[in-house]
A and B are shown apart, each in its own frame.
Chain A
Amino acid sequence: MAAIFQGVGAAAALSSTPSNSFNSKKLLFSPRRSFSVRKGASVVVVRSDGNVNLDLNPRGRRAQQLIANAVATKADSSAASSSSKPGHELLLFEALREGLEEEMERDPCVCVMGEDVGHYGGSYKVTKGLATKFGDLRVLDTPIAENSFTGMGIGAAMTGLRPVVEGMNMGFLLLAFNQISNNCGMLHYTSGGQFTIPIVIRGPGGVGRQLGAEHSQRLESYFQSIPGIQMVACSTPYNAKGLMKAAIRSENPVILFEHVLLYNLKERIPDEDYICNLEEAEMVRPGEHVTILTYSRMRYHVMQAAKTLVNKGYDPEVIDIRSLKPFDLYTIGNSVKKTHRVLIVEECMRTGGIGASLTAAINENFLDYLDAPIMCLSSQDVPTPYAGTLEEWTVVQPAQIVTAVEQLCQ
């Protein structure tokens, strides 16, 4: 299973150019250079993406196998030439781990707490080996008591530590909702600015592979209206590491959304220390005809659709909004002013989701620039079903994105 996802992710990751969006002041290197090297390798992947788009729904599984093969080929070739390339190649969960480890080395106040983060290494191995390296107190295995250990993280943050709290699954954080909302979000304000809560709450969420309703939740819509909380969603190994590090260094409480299907994405990332700006969107693919705003896993569905759209003569601009709160209306606004058409693709629920907020924000700020009403593709308002077919129909598929863009650009 892991290999398949790796395939889907890597395919799209290759075609992305995660270069336009960093705060250049904070970077010690030019990311463009390091990514341009890889352009050649993506040819195979593009072809297999085409497969996915052509015979889309009924035989999705077969198509994915093709991608897996493509990635295998790609992995081999990159391994052969890896010595000559700058940076190092790793999977997304390893990038998160690397970012965490670097920050823990950098600042002894950074600590990790959560269920099975220590000896077990985290359910998705993001904290693997850290307990051995930093000790049981810095990588604290907690009892299964989400509300209390999240509150404990908040108390620790108020008194000088910088805890990274892992929700073993994002959905479990519903049990910590009181602490996240009342204390994480409000305490800096209600204390008149006296206490800060430099905490990072992170964990895997999103619709996985037939995990059932409770383990397939997208909590960003629940958390977005809590005042005082920043939210970011990572989507590539590069930004996963950069956002993890930035979130740890931020004085604000930050919720870092990871996606269960993206942990095995592979990418070459720089060896140098870097962080990503928490408030900035990432330009994935510049284009002229339509602005597609997306984040997390849907970025890859969008990029699959983009291949088809390009073949059909469209030139979509794809932006990974990354900062779910606050929105980077600067990048988004500039894109709207250029394309005059907006499609939002999200995995969140349709009602009260990120897309709904984004639609409102764009309408409020950039209505004059729009040539067509904003379209928003979201998950269906249903508890995520178990059955594979039903689950697939719950989230947005590339074919829907293609149709939506065609409709928007008519």
Chain B
Amino acid sequence: MSGAFSAAKFTTQPFLSTPLPPDLTTSPSISPAPPHRSSDPPANSASFFFQIESPRRSGTVVAVSDVVKEKKSKSTPNLLITKEEGLVLYEDMVLGRAFEDMCAQMYYRGKMFGFVHLYNGQEAVSTGFIKLLKKEDSVVSTYRDHVHALSKGVPARAVMSELFGKATGCCRGQGGSMHMFSSEHNLLGGFAFIGEGIPVATGAAFTSKYKREVLKEAGCDHVTLAFFGDGTCNNGQFFECLNMAALWKLPIVFVVENNLWAIGMSHLRATSDPQIYKKGPAFGMPGIHVDGMDVLKVREVAKEAIGRARRGEGPTLVECETYRFRGHSLADPDELRDPAEKAHYAARDPITALKKYLIENSLASEAELKAIDKKIDEMVEDSVEFADESPPPPRSQLLENVFADPKGFGIGPDGRYRCEDPKFTEGTAHV
């Protein structure tokens, strides 16, 4: 565990109403720390565990832009991102937001059905992490997966078309909102049940290790990101996979998108110790808390965590404190959450914050950002048009892809494989 994160240094940050610890403000990269073996919790975190009754609500979260401002005053050109990077991040976040807003419209217009979970408010996490990946790296998502797919490079047309249930969708209309896949982009799926994606992600990370160590593919440094929420962190698969990933030092990052609510269950009412990142060290991996409303801060942590995984130093647990601006799904009236809480996080909109940062640091002009907004609007409009005009899946598609090897459909009474029966492709065969 040499070169591990200093979990302790990050632990104090989000829950204190005091300014950030100095080491974070000066250096967002993670400093090496001695192994976290000691059973004694780090002194500074131990002292505050008991002080805070309701850490989430009372904690003042300091935006990374403030950090950067301090930094800037000290050393002027030392920005966290280049102009190009900034624009990529901005475009991705705006795409995520605009796409989801359009989904809501289309849902209410009856163009898509079922449970549709929107990502509004959490964009900094998807963008901050996924934009650092290579194409060969894998992403495993949840039911709230549209934006992860977009960040990973799946075209908006393919995602929208999938939501419309059309044959041109990324899963040919067979997956839907909660099951976005793209083998081309190594998006291993949206998983609709809580926690079930985590073992699959662990398996993908196992493959990376296997390729390197058994198949001797020295260049295989692929990393897997597993995204899931605060509710999942009370599920057994979370704990089981933290154990296995740390045990075998798998190249995986567990990204908790803690938006404080598991549908209607407050994180604080569901979890004995609400500080999820603390569960990392319990399994021998670093646990980091990061402000999930700040894409630059997420990105800095992500960079280190992904780097660790790529270097073969093992898994990392990252808790991103974020918030969803809409209900759990479009079927959720969202009456339970406190308006003050919603307003608090709405004021911390990650896109507004990034915009402000880019302009204040002269990384981009208002006009440049407007041009991106316009480009994205057109892209999303285009995706809707494309989806609308696309054909629905033909009936013959119904029985395709049940088995990868169609012989699995069995042998018909005529002694031939059922899949060779002409009625089969017409979709009228009795299987």
Interface set of A (CB-CB < 8 Å, partner B): 108-109, 111, 135, 137-138, 142-143, 145, 147-161, 178-179, 182-183, 187-198, 227-228, 230, 250-252, 278-280, 323, 326-331, 333, 364-365
Name the residue of chain A whose CB is nearest to the CB of B169: A192
- A145 touching B243, Cβ below 8 Å: yes
Q: Quote the shortest CB–CB distance from B138 to chain A (angstroms).
A: 7
User: Chain A nearest CB: distance from B314 CB in Å?
Assistant: 15
Is the beta-carbon distance between B181 and A190 smaller than 8 angstroms? yes
CB distance from B170 to the nearest CB of A (A): 7
Q: A197-B404, A329-B412 given as contacts; is B196 within 8 A of A192 (CB)? A: no
A63 to B279, CA, bound (A): 58
B408 at the interface (CB under 8 A from A): yes
**What 8 A-B pairs are tightest by C-beta distance, nearest first?**
A155-B203, A151-B199, A326-B410, A191-B181, A192-B171, A192-B172, A148-B240, A155-B200
Pick from A109, A155, A189: contact of B206, CB under 8 Å: A155
Across the interface, do B410 and A196 meet the contact criterion of CB distance under 8 Å? no
The digit string for B403-416, where 1 denotes a CB below 8 A from any CB of A, is 11101111111110
Is B179 in contact with A151, judged by CB distance below 8 angstroms? no
A250–B418 Cα gap in the complex (Å)? 17
Q: State which residues 345-383 of B face A: CB under 8 Å.
A: none
A329 B410 Cβ-Cβ under 8 A: yes
A195:B181 contact, CB within 8 angstroms: yes
Complex Cα distance, B402 from A196, in Å, reads: 10
Residue B70 lies at the interface, judged by CB distance under 8 Å to chain A = no
**Nearest chain A residue, comparing its CB with the CB of B200:** A155
Q: What 0/1 pattern do residues 383 to 417 of B give for CB contact below 8 A with A?
A: 00000000000000000111111011111111101
| In-complex Cβ contact of A143 among B191, B240, B430 (8 A) | B240
Q: With a 10 A CB-CB cut-off, give which of B200, B202, B243 has the most chain A CB atoms.
A: B200
> Which of B203, B211, B402, B410 is in CB contact (< 8 Å) with A152?
B203
With contacts A148-B199, A188-B403 known, is A279 near B410, CB below 8 A? yes
B329 in contact (CB, < 8 A): no
Q: Is B206 touching A152 in the complex (CB atoms < 8 A)?
A: yes
| 20 A-B residue pairings within 8 Å (CB atoms) | A137-B214, A138-B210, A151-B203, A155-B204, A158-B203, A159-B138, A159-B203, A182-B196, A189-B174, A191-B183, A192-B173, A194-B171, A194-B182, A195-B181, A228-B402, A251-B405, A252-B408, A328-B411, A329-B411, A364-B430
Question: Is B306's CB within 8 Å of the partner chain A?
Answer: no
- Complex contact A365–B193 (CB within 8 A): no
Q: Is the CB of B404 within 8 A of A147?
A: no
B155 within 8 A of A: no
Contact between chains at B215 and A189 (CB < 8 Å): no
In the complex, the answer to whether A155 meets B179 with C-beta atoms within 8 Å is no
Known: A111-B210, A190-B181, A193-B400. Contact between A280 and B199, CB under 8 A?
no
Question: Cβ of B210: which chain A residues have Cβ within 8 Å of it?
Answer: 111, 137-138, 156, 161
Q: Which of B200, B209, B244, B404 contacts A137 (CB 8 A)?
A: B209
**Taking CB as reference atom, which chain B residue is nearest A250?**
B405
Are B203 and A327 neighbours in the complex by a CB distance under 8 Å? Answer: no
Number of interface residues of B (CB under 8 A): 64
Question: Is B95 an interface residue when CB atoms closer than 8 A count as contact?
Answer: no
B408 near A230 with CB under 8 A, answer yes
A161 touches B183 (CB 8 A): no
Q: CA A183 – CA B189 in complex, angstroms?
A: 10
Q: Which B residues touch A191, using CB under 8 A? A: 171, 174-175, 179, 181, 183, 189, 401
Given A137-B209, A188-B404, A329-B412, CB of A152 within 8 Å of CB of B200 = yes
- Per the bound structure, the CA–CA distance linking A380 and B181 in Å amounts to 43
Q: Which of A135, A155, A365 contacts B207 (CB 8 A)?
A: A155
Known: A179-B196, A190-B179, A193-B172. A156 touches B214 (CB 8 A): no
* Known interface pairs A182-B193, A251-B405; A159-B214 also in contact (CB < 8 Å): no
Residue of B nearest to A135 (CB): B214
CA A229 – CA B185 in complex, angstroms?
Answer: 26
* B160-218 interface with A by 8 A CB criterion: 169-176, 179, 181-184, 188-189, 191-193, 196, 198-211, 213-215
B276 at interface (Cβ–Cβ under 8 A)?
Answer: no
Q: Are B404 and A252 in contact (CB under 8 A)?
A: yes
A157 to B213, CA, bound (A): 17
Least distance between A148 CB and chain B CB atoms (Å):
4
Q: How far is the CA of A365 from the CA of B412 in the complex (A)?
A: 10
The answer to whether B411 touches A157 (Cβ under 8 A) is no
In the complex, the answer to whether A145 meets B240 with C-beta atoms within 8 Å is: yes
- Nearest A residue (CB) for B186: A159
Contacting pair B200 A147 (CB below 8 A): no
Contact residues in B for A188 (Cβ distance below 8 Å): 401-404
CB <8 Å contact, B175 and A142? no
A183 to chain B: closest CB distance in Å? Answer: 6
The answer to whether residues A149 and B199 also contact, given A161-B210, A197-B404, A323-B410 and a CB cut-off of 8 A, is yes
**B contact residues around A161 at 8 Å (CB):** 206-207, 210
B247 interface residue per 8 A CB criterion:
yes
Q: Closest Cβ of chain A: how far from B407's Cβ, in Å?
A: 6
B181 A192 Cβ-Cβ under 8 A: yes
Most chain A beta-carbon neighbours within 10 Å: one of B171, B182, B208:
B171
Q: Assess whether B214 is in contact with A192, with CB atoms less than 8 Å apart.
A: no
Residues on A with beta carbons closer than 8 Å to the beta carbon of B318: none
Decide: A190 near B410, CB < 8 A? Known: A148-B244, A152-B200, A179-B199. no
Closest to A176 in B: B199
Least CB distance, B402 to chain A, in whole angstroms? 5
Chain B: minimal CB distance from A194 (Å): 4
Quick check: B199 and A154 within 8 Å, CB to CB? yes
CA A151 to CA B207, docked complex, whole Å: 13
CB B97 to nearest CB in A, in angstroms, measures 26
Q: How far is the CA of A67 from the CA of B153 in the complex (A)?
A: 66
Whether the Cβ atoms of A151 and B412 lie closer than 8 Å is: no
Q: Compute how far the CA of A108 lies from the CA of B171 in the bound complex, rounded to whole angstroms.
A: 30
Question: A365 with B410: in contact, given A143-B247, A154-B199 (CB under 8 Å)?
Answer: no
Determine the distance from Cα of A385 to Cα of B104 in the docked complex, in whole angstroms: 55
* A187 and B214 within 8 A (CB): no
Contact indicator A142/B172 (Cβ below 8 Å):
no
B418 cross-chain contacts in A, Cβ below 8 A: 326
Q: Are A157 and B181 in contact (CB under 8 A)?
A: no
Specify which chain B residues have a CB less than 8 angstroms from the CB of A196 in the assembled complex.
404
Query: Which residue of chain A is the closest to B175 with respect to CB atoms?
Result: A190
Are A198 and B404 closer than 8 Å at their CB atoms?
A: yes
Contact assessment for B244 and A330 in the assembled complex, using a CB-CB cutoff below 8 Å:
no
Kindly list 20 other residue pairs between chains A and B, CB separation below 8 angstroms, not including A108-B215, A152-B241, A178-B193: A143-B240, A151-B199, A151-B200, A152-B202, A154-B199, A155-B140, A155-B201, A156-B203, A160-B207, A179-B199, A190-B171, A191-B181, A192-B172, A192-B174, A192-B181, A192-B401, A193-B400, A252-B408, A278-B408, A364-B430
Closest to B242 in A: A148
Distance in Å from the Cβ of B312 to the closest Cβ of chain A? 14
Distance between Cα atoms of A339 and B166 in the complex (Å): 49
Contact A155 B175, beta carbon cutoff 8 Å:
no
Chain A residues with CB below 8 A from B199, complex form: 147-152, 154-155, 179
